[in-house]
Amino acid sequence: MSEEKQCQCAEVQEEELYPRLEEVINQHKCKGEDLIMVLHKAQNLFGYLPRRVQEMVAEGLNVSLNEVYGVITFYNFFSTVPQGRNSVKVCLGTACYVRGSQEVLDKAQRELGIKVGGTTEDRRYSLDVVRCIGACGLAPAMLVNEDVYGRVKSPHLVDILKKYE
Amino acid sequence: MNLVRNHVLISIDAGTIMAGAKGVEKALVDEINKQGLSGEIAVLETGSIGATGQGVVIVVYPEGLYYANVNPEDAKEIVEEHLLKGRPVKRLIMTEMPRQQVIRKEKTGLLKEQARIVLKNSGIINPENIDEYIAAGGYEAIERAFTELKPEGVIREVKESGLVGRGGAAFTTAMKWEFASRAPGQPKYIICNADEGEPGTFKDRLILEGDPHKLIEGMMLAAYAFGGSKGFIYIRGEYALSIERLEKAIQQAREYGILGDNILESGFNFDLAVMKGAGAYVCGEETALIESLEGKRGHPRNKPPYPVTEGLWGKPTVVNNVETLANVPEIVRHGAAWYRGYGTDKCPGTKVYTIIGNVATPGLIEAEMGTTLRDIIYDYAGGIKAGKHFKGALVGGAAGAFLGPEMLDVQMDFINLKEYAAVLGSGAILVMDERTDIVDMLQSVLHFFKHESCGHCVPCRLGTKQLVEIIDRIALGKGKTGDIEKMVKISEVMRDTSFCPLGQSLNLPISSSLKYFKDEVYGRVPATV
C-alpha cells in the first residue's frame, strides 16, 4: 500500500516537471544541434529520460525520435530508466583497477543487492561503473552523486553509503 | 589600506574539496578575523598544487611553506603560532614536496630557471580572478600578437617553436593553423578538446581548474592566427569544477573586453562557449568530437576532408588539446627561441605527466621533453612504494604501451619513443611493482576498449569483443594453444583496418606486453608451457 502511494507521489512530481521541460525546449526551438545540451537539462530535471520526454524533445527540436534515442543510448551519461536518488559510481579505470576497485564494486553489488546499471527497489541507490574520473592519485575511487571518495576499501563502503538517504 | 604581510594559499581542486578544503578555508578566515588579522593576512583560493592524496594543502607566503593534511581544527594553531608568532606548525609541514619547477633533462641539479610553462600559474594564482592572471603576465601575448606579430607572425612563432599537439597524435600545431587559415569558408572555428577520457589522465583538469584564463588566451591566439571567430570548449560533463571556473573566466574576460567584438581595439572579434560532453571515449577523436558538438552520436567521420577544411558545420575548424593551447601564450609572449631552450631538438618544450600507480607520491608533473622514465619515477614521484621494485609502466594511457625496466633510461619525447614502438600519448604513466599481474592489466585495458568502441566499424566492434573473450579465458587459466597468437593477429587487423585511432591503437598494449613480459603472459596459457 505504502509503495503504491510512493509511486503516485513520484508520478505527480514528474507530471509537474513537463511544463518546465517545455520551457527548456522552447529556448532551443528547432535547433537540432542543441540536442545534447537539451538532454543534459532534461535529465537534470527528471533524473532520467523517459519516452515522453524523448518525444517532446524530438518534436521541439525538429529531429526524429530515432535520432534522439540514438544519441541517448550512445552516451554513457544518459539513462532511459529511472535512477535512484543517489548515484553510486565505482571507477574501473586502469589506476583504480590495479588498486582493487573490482573488489569495491563486488562489495557494492552485494551490499545493495543490485547489479551494475541497476537501481535499488526503494530508489535510494543506483549503481554504475565509470572509467576514470581523474582521481587516479586517490585510487581506488568512487563517486556518490557529486562527491568523490578516494582510497576506498570495501569495509568503508557501508559507512559511505549510509550517509546518503 | 593595510599592507598584507602574509598570503595563505589554499588549494581548491576536486581532490582537496573532497578532503574538506572548503571547511578549512572557512575555519582559517574565521580564526584570522577573530585574531584581528584580517587586514594583514589574505586567504586566497588557488588551483591544484600538483600533490595528490595529501588531504587539504595550504601554502603560506612569503615563506613558501607547505602544510598538508590540514583539518579545520588546525586553523587556530596555524593562525596563532605561525601567522601571529611566526613559529611554523611543524607537525603539519608537508614532507613530500611537489616540484614547483620544470625538471631539467640534464638533471644537473642546477636549475637554469625556475619556471613552469604550462603549469606556471597553477597553484600560485587564484584561478577565479582575472586580475591575478593579468598580474602574472597574462594576456600580454595577445597584445604582442595584435601590435607586433599579426596573424602570420603568430603562426611563424609557433611554427619555429616546434610545438606539436599534446593530445597524443603529436601533429605540428602551426601546420594545422596554416591549413585552416588557407581554407576557404567563413566563419572558422577553434575547438578545445577538453574531453579528457584517457584512463589515468587528469592533466587537463588541473590546467582548467588552476589556470582557465591561460586556455582562453591560447584559444584566442590560435583563432587570431588562422582567422577564427568562434571557439568551443568541449569538456567532460563530470568536470563540474572545471566547467564552473571556465564559465566564470569567460564571463570576466567578456567584462574586460578581452572577449567579444573589436577586442582591445584590434578589430578582432572572438567569443567562446563551453559545451558539456556526455561520456564517450571516442569523442576524443576530433571528427567524432565535432559530430558530438553538432548534437549527434559521436561517430568519427571519413577523412579527408580534414576538419581544417571541413569541420564543424562544414566550416574550417581547428581542434587542439588543452595542454597544447596552454603552451601557446608563453610561446608568443617569450618567443620561439626561449621555448626551444626547453626539451630536445626535435621535440622542444615540456610535457605534463600524470604519474599514478605503485609510486610513493602520485601526482602531476611538468617535465622537459627528453626526461627519462627513471627520473620521473625516482626523482619526482619518490620512487616505488616502500620495499617494492619497479616491474613496468603503462605509458600513454590505455592506448599506450607497456614498458619494461630496460626502457627506464630512454629519453621520452614524441619522436624518440616512436623508435621504440612506444608512445607518449596523453602523458599518463601508470607504474607497476612486482605485485601487478600483467594479464590482469591487459584484461582491464581490453575491457575498457570493448566498452568504449563506438560500434561504427566492424574491425573495432567485433575485434574488441573477441579480444575480451580471449583475455578473460587466459585470465581464468583456461587459455588455449594459439590464443595469444590470435590476439596479436586480431589486434594487427584492427590496427590496419579500423576506422579511427580507437581501434587502431589497441595493438600497442598487446604487442608491448608481449615484448617485455612474454614469459609471464605465455606462462598463463597452460598448454604452451
B116-130, B149-163, B168-182: the lowest-pLDDT one: B116-130
pLDDT digits (tens, 9 = 90+) for B86-100: 888 888 887 765 544
| B358 to A130: CB separation less than 8 angstroms, yes or no | no
| CA–CA distance, A104 with A90 (Å, rounded to integer) | 8
In sequence order, the β-bridge partners of residue A119 are: A126
Selected residue of B17, B202, B464 to mutate for chain A interface (largest A Cβ count, 10 A): B202
- Residue B14: its pLDDT value, please? 67
A123-132, B97-106, B289-298, B411-420: the lowest-pLDDT one: B97-106
**Percent of chain A beyond pLDDT 70?**
92
CB-neighbour burial class of residue A12 (10 A; exposed 0-12, middle 13-18, buried 19+) = exposed
A-proximal residues of B, 60-99, CB under 8 Å: none
How far is the alpha carbon of A122 from chain B, nearest alpha carbon, in Å?
26
Helix axis angle, A2-27 to A35-46, nearest 10°: 150
Instruction: Please name the member of A67, A95, A131 whose beta carbon is closest to the beta carbon of B357.
Output: A95
Selected residue of A94, A97, A101, A149 to mutate for chain B interface (largest B Cβ count, 10 A): A94
| CA–CA distance, B183 with B493 (Å, rounded to integer) | 35
Please name the residue of chain A whose CA is at the shortest distance from the CA of residue B239. A133
Cell of B519: 614469459
Chain A touched by B112 (CB under 8 Å): no
Q: Pick the residue with more confidence: B107 or B482?
A: B482
Q: Are A116 and A129 in contact (CB under 8 A)?
A: yes
CB-neighbour burial class of residue B451 (10 A; exposed 0-12, middle 13-18, buried 19+) = middle
Instruction: Please name the member of A94, A130, A134 whose beta carbon is closest to the beta carbon of B430.
Output: A94
Give per-residue burial for B474-513: e unless 16+ CB within 10 Å, then b: bbeeebeeebbeebeebbeebbeebbbbbbbbbbbbbbbb
Domains of chain A, residue spans: 2-74, 86-162
| B279 to A77: CB separation less than 8 angstroms, yes or no | yes
Q: pLDDT band at residue B44, thresholds of 50, 70 and 90?
A: confident
Contacts of A67 in chain B (CB under 8 A): 296
Quote the CATH superfamily of domain A86-162.
Glutaredoxin (3.40.30.10)
A48 HSE (CA, 13 A, CB side): 19
Please name the residue of chain A whose CA is at the shortest distance from the CA of residue B298. A74
Selected residue of A132, A133, A148 to mutate for chain B interface (largest B Cβ count, 10 A): A132
Chain A touched by B230 (CB under 8 Å): no
**SS3 letters for B364-386?**
EEEEECCCEHHHHHHHHCCCECC
Contacts of A151 in chain B (CB under 8 A): 53
- The three-state secondary structure class of B477 is coil
Cell of B75: 586553523
Q: Is the pLDDT of residue B293 over 70?
A: yes
Chain B touched by A151 (CB under 8 Å): yes
Helix locations, B136-202, DSSP H: 140-144, 150-161, 173-182
DSSP states along B325-367: HHHHHHHHHH-HHHHHTSB-SSSBSEEEEEEEESBSS-EEEEE
Helix H or strand E segment including A16:
helix A2-27
Contacts of B198 in chain A (CB under 8 A): 132
Contacts of A35 in chain B (CB under 8 A): 295-296
Please name the residue of chain A whose CA is at the shortest distance from the CA of residue B364. A137
| A136 to B200: CB separation less than 8 angstroms, yes or no | yes
Residues 6+ apart with CB under 8 A from B361: B51, B53, B96, B380, B381, B382
| CA–CA distance, A128 with A109 (Å, rounded to integer) | 10
Length, in residues, of chain A:
165
- The three-state secondary structure class of A147 is strand
| CA–CA distance, B304 with B313 (Å, rounded to integer) | 15
Closest CA to B222 of B249, B214, B253: B214
pLDDT digits (tens, 9 = 90+) for B199-256: 777 888 889 988 999 999 999 999 999 999 999 999 988 788 899 999 999 999 999 9
| CA–CA distance, B304 with B309 (Å, rounded to integer) | 9
How far is the alpha carbon of A7 from chain B, nearest alpha carbon, in Å?
29
Helix H or strand E segment including B208:
helix B203-210
Instruction: Please name the member of B202, B276, B297 whose beta carbon is closest to the beta carbon of A134.
Output: B202
| CA–CA distance, A35 with B295 (Å, rounded to integer) | 5
Q: pLDDT band at residue B425, thresholds of 50, 70 and 90?
A: confident
Instruction: Please name the member of A35, A37, A98 whose beta carbon is closest to the beta carbon of B441.
Output: A98
**What ipTM describes this predicted complex?**
0.77
Cell of B496: 590496419
Q: Is the pLDDT of residue B109 over 70?
A: no
Q: Are A109 and A127 in contact (CB under 8 A)?
A: yes
Q: Which domains does chain B have, with CATH numbers?
A: 6-92 (3.40.30.10), 130-338 (3.40.50.11540), 350-433 (3.10.20.600), 438-528 (1.20.1440.230)
Q: Which residue has the cell 612486482?
A: B434
